[in-house]
Amino acid sequence: MSDSTNDWPIWEVFTQKKDGAPHEHAGSVHAPDSEMALLNARDVYGRRMEAINMWVVLSSAIIASTPEDMGPFFDPANDKLYRWPNSFKTPEGIKQV
Amino acid sequence: MEKQNALYEYNLRIGDSALVLAQRLSEWSGHGPILEEDIAMSNMALDLIGHARGFLTYAGQVEGKGRSEDDLAYFRDVRAYKNRMLVEMPNGDFAVTMMRSLLFSAFAYLHFRGLIKSNDETISGLAEKSLKEITYHLRHTSQWVIRLGDGTDESHQRVQNAANDLWSYTDELFEMNEVDEYLIQEGIAFDLKNLRAEWDQLIEEVFSKATLAVPVVGYKSKGGMNGFHTEYLGFLLAEMQSLPRSMPDAKW
């Protein structure tokens, strides 16, 4: 393996397993452009019936929260049970919420 | 020409071409220029082994001597192989490998598409199954040839050289003989003459995007279907067949 991959950006790969299901993060690939990123994603993550649709997006285009954000972003939800939907019953016959 | 023999020969040609190219592509396993492409070439090799299994199994059934796909793959010598010569060409650099697969995939894509209409249900079914995979091979290799051709000076020169070197084996893809004539009349085979214009167009489109010149080559090799091959095929088969021949019936 040469170092040439260092010149290529990383793309995050999201796969959809069936119609209506959300796209889920599968992993990442190196590629010089979007078309090659899709082809590489297909070869690495989509060849064994794992997906019916794929997204690729430049890793650099993703804005992530930082570890320092963790407290202010997520903690407040923990002590306010009324924000949770626990008291609602799932209607019969619903497989996915 | 009897039907049994014609059908046997016809299946060998398709199966052998897939098998030999699969063996070539699998030589890249662990040596690809990047991890993703290493996986892609191995995937294509596995697809082609699938095609070879289908057509060689059917060849064995048609022949009626109890030979399996493995018997045909591992225990025939070079003169009994009926593959198109293009696929036995050595891998060379990455540009040669991509160009070889582009030229072959474009042919196989059109061929399988035609064979779906075959009167022979087994051939029609195998063609339909193989077509999906070869469509991807065509797309993958087209994209690479475009990027190499329209890339750096060096990548352009390498992929143009690849085209020039392989071009004298392109006419042979369309070679036919009395086997084809017989099976075309029976509605089983597909007239390869009908594919030529579309193949030219497919390749010219890719070459145009890749800023490559379509080579003009005087000498054209022929004869894979008659068991005539380049010096390379014997070495390829020796490697591929060495294990089953030294340990017949080994299971793993």
Domain ranges of chain B: 3-213+221-246
Task: Please name the residue of chain A whose CA is at the shortest distance from the CA of residue B144.
Answer: A36
Chain A residue numbers with beta carbons less than 8 Å from the beta carbon of B35 are 1, 5, 30
Whether B136 sits inside 8 A of A42 (CB atoms) is: yes
DSSP code string of A10-32: EEEEEEE-STTSPPEEEEEEE-S
User: ipTM score of the complex?
Assistant: 0.78
CA A72 to each of CA A47, A65, A69, B63, B89: distance values in angstroms, whole numbers, following the listed order? 40, 11, 6, 74, 63
Whether B36 sits inside 8 A of A30 (CB atoms) is: yes
Per-residue pLDDT tens digits for B165-186: 999 999 999 999 999 999 999 9
Q: What's the CATH superfamily of B3-213+221-246?
A: Ferritin, core subunit, four-helix bundle (1.20.1260.10)
The whole-chain average pLDDT of chain B stands at: 96
Chain A residue numbers with beta carbons less than 8 Å from the beta carbon of B43 are 43, 47
**pLDDT at residue B1, rounded to an integer:** 65
Per-residue pLDDT tens digits for B80-127: 999 999 999 999 999 999 999 999 999 999 999 999 999 999 999 999
Whether A4 sits inside 8 A of B43 (CB atoms) is: no
Per-residue pLDDT tens digits for B6-58: 999 999 999 999 999 999 999 999 999 999 999 999 999 999 999 999 999 99
b/e A79-91 (16+ beta carbons within 10 angstroms → b): eeeeeeeeeeeee
- Smallest Cβ–Cβ distance between A43 and the set B33, B36, B143 belongs to B36
CA B167 to each of CA A38, A65, B39, B92, B176: distance values in angstroms, whole numbers, following the listed order? 30, 54, 27, 15, 18
Per-residue pLDDT tens digits for A35-89: 999 999 999 998 777 789 999 999 999 999 888 887 777 776 667 777 777 777 7
Check residue B249 and give left, alpha or beta (phi > 0: left; psi -120 to 50: alpha): left
Chain B residue numbers with beta carbons less than 8 Å from the beta carbon of A47 are 43
Rounded to the nearest 5°, which phi and psi values hold at A58? -55, 130
pTM for the model stands at 0.88
